[in-house]
Amino acid sequence: MTPPLPANAPGGSGVRLTNLDANRLDWDDKLTIEFLNDRPRICAIEIVKADNLPTVFLAGDSTVTDQPREPGASWGQMLPAFFKPDVAVANYAASGQTLKSFITDLRLDKLLSQMKPGDWLFLQFGHNDEKSNWPQTYVEPFTTHKAYLRAMISEARLRGATPVLITPMERRGGIEGNTHGEFPASIMDTAREENVPVIDLWSMSKKLYAAMGDQVGEAFADPTHHRNYGAYELSKCIVQGIKDNRLRLADHIVDDFGRFDPAHPDPFASFRMPASAGRMGTGGGAAPKSPARRTGPDYQD
C-alpha cells in the first residue's frame, strides 16, 4: 500500500497487481524465509528494526525481479550477496514492467514512499519498453523513453537519493548483434545529459556471454531470462559497475569481492547453488532465493 491520500486527491492507494503477482509471497503480509543447502540448519533468528541503513531500490522488469521459482533467477536477487550487512536491497522490479507501467501501476509511488536521503535507485528497463506491439507502454528511444527516465531520476533526487541507470543485458540471440536497438544508446545519452552514473550492463553482458563459449546455455532459462549461474555472473557485473563508477555505495561491497572481468567469468563447472523448494510447475510461490556470500569461482557451501 502507498500512504493514504487526502480527500478528493487523484491517484490510488495501492499497487495495481497483475496475474503474475497473484501467488508471490512478497505480496502477502507475512515474512517467508527459505533455508537451502543439502542439510540446512539454523540455531536462531533475531529480527531488529533498522531505520537508518542506506537502501538500494531496484526498479525494472523480469530480468531484475526476484524470480520465485526454478529455473528462473535474476541479477537483482543475487545482489544482496555482495553487500555487507550495513546496506539493504529492496527489489521492486516485476515481470512485464516498463517505465510507463511502473508509474501507472503505482509501483514507483510505493517505492518512493519508502525512500529517504542517502538511498539509491537502480533503474533497468528496456526489454518491454521497446515492444512496439504494446502500444500502451511502448516508448520511442530518444524522446519518450528519455522523458520517463528523467521523471524517475528527478523523483529520486527530490528525496535525496542517488539514481543509477543500467542498460538492459543482451538476450542470448544478440551475442554477436543487438536485440535492443537504440535503447542502450538512449540510456547512455540520458546518463550523460543528466549527470547520472550508468552501468553499461548491455556491453558487459555481451562480453560475458561470448567468454562463456559453449557453457553460455547454462546461463539462460530461455532466450531472455537467466538461471542461477547467469544471474550470479550478471550481478557481479553490476557490482563491478558500482566500483568502476566510484560510487559511495562501493564502501558497502564485501571486502573479498576483488575485481570482476566479464571477459573472464567464473567457470560453470565450479558453480553450485542449492535449488529452491519452489520449482517450476509445482504451483505457488517460493521465497526469493539469494546465494550465501561467495565471490570466487569455487562457489560451494
For position 20, what pLDDT does the model report? 84
pLDDT of residue 34 exceeding 90: no
Domain assignment of residue 234, yes or no:
yes
CB neighbours of residue 9 within 10 Å? 9
Domain assignment of residue 276, yes or no:
no
For position 102, what pLDDT does the model report? 97
Q: Which residue has the higher pLDDT, 226 or 286?
A: 226
Please tell me the pTM assigned to this model. 0.91
Beta bridge partners of 220: 226
- The model's pLDDT over 164-201, given as tens digits with 9 standing for 90+, comes to 999 999 999 999 999 999 999 999 999 999 999 999 99
Strand extents, DSSP E, the chain: 55-60, 88-91, 120-124, 162-166, 198-199
Domain count of the chain? 1
- The model's pLDDT over 216-248, given as tens digits with 9 standing for 90+, comes to 999 999 999 999 999 999 999 999 999 999 999
For position 300, what pLDDT does the model report? 28
Name the average pLDDT for the chain: 90
Residue 12 CA to residue 104 CA, distance in Å, equals: 10
Mean pLDDT over 129-140 rounds to 95
pLDDT of residue 287 exceeding 80: no
Q: Which residues of 31-48 are buried (b: 16+ CB within 10 A; e: fewer)?
A: eeeeebeeeeeeeeeeee
Q: What is the DSSP letter of 110?
A: H
For position 295, what pLDDT does the model report? 34
**122 SS3 class:** strand
The secondary structure of 151-214 as a DSSP string is HHHHHHHHTT-EEEEEPPPPPGGGTTS-SSTTHHHHHHHHHHHHT--EE-HHHHHHHHHHHHGG
For position 35, what pLDDT does the model report? 84
Domain assignment of residue 60, yes or no:
yes
Decide if 285 contacts 24 (C-beta within 8 A): yes
Looking up residue 156, the CATH number of its domain turns out to be: 3.40.50.1110
Mean pLDDT over 207-211 rounds to 98
Domain assignment of residue 277, yes or no:
no
Q: Which residue has the higher pLDDT, 22 or 153?
A: 153
pLDDT of residue 1 exceeding 80: no
pLDDT of residue 33 exceeding 90: no
Tell me the percentage of the chain whose pLDDT exceeds 90. Answer: 73
Place 14 in a pLDDT band, splitting at 50, 70 and 90: confident
Q: Which residue has the higher pLDDT, 90 or 3?
A: 90
- The model's pLDDT over 54-104, given as tens digits with 9 standing for 90+, comes to 999 999 999 999 998 888 999 999 999 999 999 999 999 999 999 999 999
Domain assignment of residue 248, yes or no:
yes
Domain assignment of residue 283, yes or no:
no
Active site residues: 62, 218, 225
Q: Which domain holds residue 117?
A: 52-270
Which residue type occupies 74? S
Domain assignment of residue 32, yes or no:
no
Domain assignment of residue 208, yes or no:
yes
pLDDT of residue 7 exceeding 60: yes
